[in-house]
Chain A
Amino acid sequence: MEKIIFLFAAFFLVWGLKLQSNPESASKGNNYAALGMFLSVLGAIIMPSDYPILNNFLWIIVPLLISSVIGFFIAKKIEMTSMPQMVSIFNGLGGLSAVVLSFVEIYKLSITPSPDFYYKIILFISLFIGSVAFTGSLLAFAKLDGYKWSEKIAFSFQHIFNQLLLIIIFFLIYYYLSFNPAFEYVYIILFLSLIYGVFFVAPIGGADMPVVISLLNSFTGLTAALTGIIFDNKVMLLGGILVGAAGTILTVLMCNAMNRSIFNVIIGGFSSSGNKKSKGAQGDVKEINDSDFAIQLYYSKNVIIIPGYGLAVAQAQKLCKEIQEILEGNDVDVKYAIHPVAGRMPGHMNVLLAEADVDYSKLIELEQANDEFKSTDVAVIVGANDVVNPDAIDDSSSPLFGMPILKVWEAKQTIVLKRSMSAGYAGVQNPLFFRSNNKMYFGDAKESLNRLSSELKTL
């Protein structure tokens, strides 16, 4: 009986993910996936077992009830801007769950030794990856939530230290498996794995978070799959691998969008690329005042807004929508060009704009946007910098060279909303600011858009 339930569960999990490929059907897809999960849990509960007695069922039902309340409550309260934090913390919990399970299994095996060597290797790999996912996600959460101490912690020889730690962990696992020493060794392995997770994420900077979250997500998926092998359960294996695949694909996409290797991101960003002091554009920038800005937007045919990290931080997405509506009232065509790494996790900017009720057909992706800039009157860049840096195409000595970017300067006019002239995450100045068809509008994203919006209302 439970085998048939598992079969249906697997079907719904895959079908649910499949439906996520279209915004219209995605909601249904999520319900299917949830149904798949419900069926898997049901299957596990009715499976024949050694102790099918009330006592053991209570140990199952009580945690399920508590967590459903907690989960529902968190999901209901969370702000859309805090989505990356929430995904990290949930991801960490998934990792923790796998760690505890592998630990218990290792503990059980230490009492009744099993001859199967591979089985034990899988257990330890699961323990290790789960630990990294757990503490790594917690630190990622702290970084995303803006704790000051967490921005970018790195000391000299950091990655030599990391690699050394990794070697020690694998040596201890090898030693434990080969010589069967006291169980205390497992505590040391567990402890060092947890520490490794912290040091793994510590040197990675805030703007690289989309990569880190994706990567940790794929780790948790991998652990879930390994746990599936341990418990000889094919639905767990399937679910874990689907998640692993999702995480891996997103990691690769994010890395490609920044033209960097995953290795480079892990080591700690642009600091290692050496030629940080590339020439650096110089010249005069032109500022635009409130009323000119408003008039220029109000009387143009089409406008493309390029939202970036700065907009997400200032939580100014609702103001964007307000401005969009005012402009559309005067028959201005408004679109949003979204760079793949805009925001703090993959696709984050889209969710923020969707929350502000921006229709998703208004959101265009990199390639389409680059086709459209030529016929665009004004491109407004809100809190983005590196993703619109022409050096990525023009200057082969720039650390950004080769990164796919939005060619905003092809529009007739670009206006950059920015706090100051400071460099972006990559630490390089942006020559776009000095171009003849560019104007600057200084200030915090939220405050600037507020000024613009009230100015537009007077027209």
Chain B
Amino acid sequence: MENILDFLISNEVLIYLLLFTVLLGFEVISKVPSILHTPLMSGANAISGIVILGAIILIKNTNPDNYIVLFLASIALLVGSINVFGGFFVTDRMLKMFNKKNKK
């Protein structure tokens, strides 16, 4: 119990951030109308590719001789960023179909 309390206190700022981001996320997303749910989902999916930041940070802090870690991390980067690029491109394609001005 005390351990958990310690953990909460030492990560106070992070937990505040977590709390408010969750609220913000629900607030922003719940305003999206149902006609846009598919583009929302593919767009959000692209954002979930933000894990690639972890891969970049990892690669930059890995000893250049450590090929296993470098290789694995760049695989993570590769598959994660296919998700990012593909996701944003396809969302763009979809949303343009909804946007009348662009069509004419």
Contact = CB atoms under 8 A, between A and B. Distances in A.
B29 A17 contact: yes
B83 A97 contact: yes
Interface in B51-74: 51-64, 69-70, 72-74
Nearest to B4: A118
Interface string A323-362: 0000000000000001010000111101100110101100
B99 A27 contact: yes
Contact of B44 (A40, A44, A86, A246): A246
B86 A71 contact: yes
Contacts of B5: none
Contacts of B34: 253, 338, 340, 346-347, 350, 365
Given A50-B61, A96-B79, A245 B25 contact: yes
Size band of the interface chain A makes with B: 35 or more
A60 B56 contact: yes
Given A49-B61, A245-B22, A64 B49 contact: no
B83 A93 contact: yes
B88 A30 contact: yes
A60 B61 CA distance: 12
A315 to B, nearest CB: 16
A359 B42 CA distance: 21
A239 B50 contact: yes
A14 to B, nearest CB: 7
Contacts of A96: 76, 79-80
A86 B24 CA distance: 28
Contacts of A56: 59-60, 62, 64, 70
A71 B48 contact: no
A83 B42 contact: yes
A100 B74 CA distance: 10
Interface in B1-42: 3, 7, 14, 17-18, 21-22, 24-26, 28-42
Contact of B85 (A13, A16, A57, A68): A68
Size band of the interface chain B makes with A: 35 or more
Contacts of B63: 50-51
A308 B38 CA distance: 16
Given A63-B78, A66-B78, A234 B48 contact: no
B103 to A, nearest CB: 7
Interface string A359-374: 1100101000000000
B60 A100 contact: no
Interface centre among B37, B46, B51, B63 (most CB of A within 10 A): B51
A135 to B, nearest CB: 14
Contacts of B37: 250, 253, 345-347, 350
Interface stretch (A31-39, A276-284, A292-300, A415-423): A31-39
A76 to B, nearest CB: 7
Contacts of A236: 50-51, 53-54
Contact of B36 (A62, A64, A107, A347): A347
B94 A80 contact: yes
A189 B70 CA distance: 23
Contacts of A176: none
A98 B76 CA distance: 7
A365 B35 CA distance: 8
B45 A220 contact: yes
Contact of B81 (A68, A108, A230, A245): A68
Interface string A2-28: 000000000001101110111110110
A21 B56 contact: no
A177 interface: no
Contacts of A357: 97, 103
Contacts of B87: 71, 75, 90
A276 B70 CA distance: 55
Contacts of B33: 21-23, 365
Nearest to B75: A100
A191 B63 CA distance: 28
A234 B53 CA distance: 11
A37 B81 CA distance: 10
B74 A60 contact: yes
A63 B81 contact: yes
A17 B26 CA distance: 11
Nearest to A247: B44
A360 B35 contact: yes
Contacts of A78: 90
Given A20-B36, A27-B102, A97-B77, 8 more contacts: A17-B40, A21-B33, A30-B39, A60-B56, A97-B76, A101-B73, A242-B25, A347-B36
Interface of A: 13-14, 16-18, 20-24, 26-27, 29-31, 33-34, 37, 40-41, 43-45, 47, 49-53, 55-57, 59-60, 62-64, 66-68, 70-72, 74-76, 78, 80, 83, 86-87, 90-91, 93-94, 96-98, 100-101, 103-105, 107-108, 117-118, 213-214, 217, 220-221, 223-224, 227-231, 233-250, 253, 338, 340, 345-348, 350-351, 354-355, 357, 359-360, 363, 365
Rank and list the top 3 A-B pairs by shortest CB-CB distance, nearest first.
A71-B85, A347-B37, A245-B25
Interface of B: 3, 7, 14, 17-18, 21-22, 24-26, 28-64, 69-70, 72-103
